[in-house]
Amino acid sequence: MTVRYSVTIRWSDEDEAYVATVPELPGLSAFGDTEEEALKELEIAQEAFLDVMRERGDPIPEPRCLPAASGQLRLRMPKSLHAELAEAAAEDGVSLNSYILTLLSARHAAKKSARGRSAGRR
């Protein structure tokens, strides 16, 4: 039986290897010189991990699925921040929603870019 769990693969300076984990199965991890190798080792370890859980009668955790995103968000903020953002949006000639989306997108892109640069330094 194949259960589709979440997988996280990160580089570990301490282990000098990639470490693959399953957030739904605390304590389970596998290592590899490459991300692919860590994933392959994790698949083997996961089966053994789940077999032990079944043998002990432990409940098998359900996989976490990505929630559907509606694209809508209700956000509360201080009145002063709301006023400042509304003023900035008006100066740019866009709606407050568009202005906030632009700010969030730029911040997210910068953070993603920084993560990519730090990943390239390994």
Please determine, for residue 60, whether its predicted confidence score (pLDDT) is greater than 90.
yes
User: Which token pair is 43?
Assistant: 């698949």
Domain ranges of the chain: 8-56, 79-119
Which pLDDT score is estimated for 1?
47
Look at strands 8-12 and 29-32 and give their pairing: unpaired
pLDDT tier at 4 (50, 70, 90 boundaries)?
A: confident
What is the full DSSP assignment across 17-68?
Answer: EEEEE-TTSTT-EEEESSHHHHHHHHHHHHHHHHHHHHHHTPPPPPPP-PPP
What is the C-alpha separation between 16 and 86, in angstroms, rounded? 49
Q: What's residue 73's pLDDT?
A: 87
What is the C-alpha to C-alpha distance for residues 65 and 106, in angstroms, rounded to an integer?
27
Per-residue model confidence as pLDDT tens digits over 5-24: 999 999 999 999 999 999 99
pTM: 0.56
Predicted confidence (pLDDT) per residue in 72-94, tens digit: 889 999 999 999 999 999 999 99
- Distance between CA atoms of residues 42 and 20, nearest Å: 6
User: What pLDDT, in 10s, does the model give residues 86-121?
Assistant: 999 999 999 999 999 999 999 999 998 888 776 655
Give me the half-sphere count of Cα atoms (radius 13 Å) on the Cβ side of residue 24: 16
**Could you give the CA distance from residue 32 to residue 18 in angstroms, rounded to a whole number?**
5
